[in-house]
Amino acid sequence: MLQEAIFQSSVSTIITVFDPKGRITHMNKAAETILGYQAENLIGRETPLIFHDPVEVAAYDEELSIINGKRRVLLLCDGRALGGT
């Protein structure tokens, strides 16, 4: 109960909790307000694609791949590669 009160007390910081597969398991009220989504619509969903434009995510991933010298393929929940590749 105290942990939940602390979790919800932040009014200007998004706090989300994820399981090992990257699915949202819990989020605070500030996350709902700032992101414009209700918790029940996000719990169980994967990120970051629910918060960002897939094209933007793919571009950032490409930038990180160049910086790190590694090529990754980001997969959507349905198994398709992000960006259609």
In single-letter form, the type of residue at position 70 comes to K
pLDDT digits (tens, 9 = 90+) for 34-75: 888 899 988 998 766 666 677 777 787 778 777 777 666 666
Neighbours of 69 (CB within 10 A): 6
**Do the Cβ atoms of 25 and 43 come closer than 8 Å?**
yes
Neighbours of 23 (CB within 10 A): 15
pTM over 0.95: no
- Burial of residue 36 (CB within 10 Å: 0-12, 13-18, 19+) is exposed
